Structure 1
């Protein structure tokens, strides 16, 4: 993953809410990591400028940056990228020219996150439930945040290929009467109801409203569930984790992810012990005749703070 010259490389992981930036030195180390709020900057270019100017004030040789890799929460299929969960829109070629870069790689954020999975150390993940990972097999990934990311990596002998898709927008399928009632409410409001509609920050708020009839912010729901001050909040988090288990099981079946199934994104780590105590793993395995197959697949919560930056660094090295 290390850079091949003495110059610094710019790395970014852009979500719907936060933009994480770092500089990678020639020995592969990430330096000057900073998280900026997307809403605080009119464009991605403005956010890049703000980050680089701040890094320069801290003594970084930002003038040496000639290659950059950006992981972004959006499909990346053509030169024009318009974010689904934020208003930023940009031309890759124009941004490369404006920044005077020799290389600007722009990839889907969950493809970048998936690329980091084969290299995670045991200390950078927490096992949830049983199972035994098989080496050299597909690895699955799902992550609720501002939206719902879905990806995976497929082995190709000595290397890996990351999948870039929009699996978070598959149709939500309820597994019990409570979830049928939630789906019915959301059908009336949105028509098509995707997995992301429930498994996201806004989704946590929608589940809470469907179960309690009350409005509450995602952060407040999570805190009330953690401190035990609100039964409706705890019920909401439990429902969220259960639905996540079902959708993660679907991804694992689709990919044949016998190398393990990983949970990323910004929401689940905030649940703390509630996630391990939830029915996530039970629902992950609850697939009828394929239950025994899924019981053999381990599930992990990613605890590494900036894994997508590591993944996009690997992809930038290969592109170079």
Structure 2
């Protein structure tokens, strides 16, 4: 395995693989931003190897004689990692890390949880890639990130003497708590349909229609057959009162959950909201009860009032984090080689 550099530097392949879409890009070494970003529908390919091969073939055709195939890759996937076999939580993709590495002709393939990669991106994000409630969080200490996409991801980032260390978890599957009597009634309705009501069950793309139907039932109103995107659009522009009420509850409950994440991690450096859903209605989000509910933790209100929160508006932040993971891995390998 070649951990060092070659005479002609080869790019890295990075991917952010969610339940619905996968995003691929190339990175020209340490500190370089992702380039030639391309998004594909997971349903259009049998697995990530097939999707990556199609992407790389397009890049090779565009580059012509100047093409250099990637030697390292990092895939950020929306599922727990740690074993060779990767089973996507909200997708049909199932694959082996080792077999994928060999099939793509790589020297190394890193597999990260998608919110582990998102966490690793945080120190390198520029102010224009964020939108904060007040002052921007400073990239120091302990940070946390969560975000509704197809599912609900949660991750943490610790500043250590040896650099940043990401913590991958499955906090989105923690039990969701009600913040008031109305939410308690909503959860009661949802529990009639599901044995366990996790945060992801309502605070995600797959969960927003469930939340919409439950709120309709609590309010005694008829619910239409709407997608998460339709609920978000109609709620944000105020054209549908039930959708607006759903979006209001979504932001409030997300705030309460984010406050729980901040307390659990001790994320005094800041809590970041990622994922693909909230940026679609960012103005509504910043005018919502999110921050109010984030701070509403009784005796720990003052603690949370001092914790900054920000929305990640960079749509490809996880690709930056995947590149940071490769950079860190190669740096450790080089350091160990010199020590030997």
TM over 0.5: yes
Cα distance, 1:131 vs. partner? 6.5
Cα distance, 1:57 vs. partner? 2.2
Gap change, CA 1:97 and 1:133, over 3 Å in 2: closer
Gap change, CA 1:199 and 1:251, over 3 Å in 2: same
Report what 2:317 is aligned to.
307
Cα distance, 1:58 vs. partner? 1.8
Report what 1:118 is aligned to.
123
Cα distance, 1:162 vs. partner? 0.3
- The runs of 4+ residues in structure 1 deviating greater than 6 Å are none
Report what 2:13 is aligned to.
10
The residue correspondences of 1:92-131 to structure 2 (distance < 5 A) are 92-128=97-133, 130=134
TM-score (norm 1): 0.95
Computing the radius of gyration from Cα coordinates, the structure with the larger value is 2
Q: Contact conserved, 2:33 with 2:320, CA < 8 A, in 1? A: no
Gap change, CA 1:29 and 1:224, over 3 Å in 2: closer
Q: Contact conserved, 1:8 with 1:62, CA < 8 A, in 2? A: no
Report what 2:201 is aligned to.
197
* Structure-2 separation of matches of 1:133 and 1:31: 26
Q: Report whether the alignment pairs 1:182 with 2:217.
A: no
SS at match of 1:282: helix
* Structure-1 separation of matches of 2:185 and 2:291: 23
Report what 1:281 is aligned to.
291
Unaligned segments of structure 2, at least 5 residues: 217-221, 331-340
- The count of aligned residue pairs is 317
Cα distance, 1:174 vs. partner? 0.7
* Structure-2 separation of matches of 1:55 and 1:243: 42
Q: Report whether the alignment pairs 1:71 with 2:76.
A: yes
Moved more, 12-21 or 132-141: 132-141
* Structure-2 separation of matches of 1:110 and 1:75: 10
Q: Report whether the alignment pairs 1:22 with 2:32.
A: no
Q: 1:138 aligns with which of 116, 120, 142?
A: 142
Gap change, CA 1:175 and 1:34, over 3 Å in 2: same
Q: Contact conserved, 1:134 with 1:258, CA < 8 A, in 2? A: no
TM-score (norm 2): 0.89
